[in-house]
Amino acid sequence: MRNPVFTVVQPDTWWEMPLEYRLAVRTWMRANQLEANDIPVSEPITVRGNEIRYTRLLRDEEGNVRKGTCPFSGQWKIHSEEVIAPLKTDPPILSKD
């Protein structure tokens, strides 16, 4: 790994990234056995050493994203969990060309 901490996806700039980079990130996610449809683009994906840290959406038995009301705040929310997965291949680097 090139750096001890590397942010692959930064939520506030994701849609500004070149299409080639976004496609490379999806290929990298598949190579690391991450399901792109379960990772919200509103959350960062970070590599630290040999670990990938990301947020994964939780699904019910039918495959629907779990959602409901927070028992503490009473606000509606989508259920997710923080995940640490092993890094199998290095993430793509955004070229400065």
Amino acid 20: pLDDT: 92
* pTM of the entire predicted model: 0.80
Mean pLDDT by 10 residues, the chain (97 residues): 70 87 93 93 91 94 87 83 95 77
Rounded-to-integer distance, Cα 80 and Cα 78, Å: 6
Looking at residue 3, what is its pLDDT?
A: 54
What is the spatial distance between Cα 36 and Cα 81, in angstroms, rounded to a whole number?
A: 15
